[in-house]
Amino acid sequence: MDIKYNVKTKKYVLGTTEYSKEDFISYIESDMLQSAIYSDSGTSIYSNSYVSEDIDDYSLDEEIKEKDRVLGGENIILYGVSGSGKSYTIEKEFSSDENRMIRVVFHPDYMNTDFIGQILPTIKEDGTISYEFVPGPFTNIMRNAYKNYKIKYYLVIEEINRGNAPAIFGDVFQLLDRDISGTSRYGITNSNLANVMYGDKNKAVKIPSNLTILATMNTADQNVFTLDTAFQRRWNMRMIENNVNDTEHANIEIVDTGVTWARFNSVINNTILDSNISTLSSEDKRLGAYFITPYDLRSINDKDDAKRFAEKIIKYLWDDAFKFSRDKLFETSYKSLDGVILSFINSSGESRLNIFKSDIKDLLLTDTNITEDFSDNE
pLDDT tens-digit map of 189-228:
999 999 999 999 999 999 999 999 999 998 766 556 778 8
pTM: 0.76
pLDDT in tens, 141-169: 999 999 999 999 999 999 999 999 999 99
pLDDT in tens, 257-266: 999 999 999 9
Walk me through the domains of the chain, giving residue ranges and CATH numbers.
Answer: 3-68 (no CATH), 75-239 (3.40.50.300), 244-377 (no CATH)
DSSP state of 329: T
- Ramachandran region of residue 255, left (φ > 0), alpha (ψ -120 to 50) or beta? left
Using a 10 angstrom Cβ sphere, with 0-12 exposed, 13-18 middle and 19 or more buried, the burial of residue 111 is middle
Tell me the H-state helices in 16-161: 21-28, 32-37, 60-68, 86-93, 112-115, 137-147
Average pLDDT over residues 49-75: 64
Q: Is the pLDDT of residue 320 over 50?
A: yes
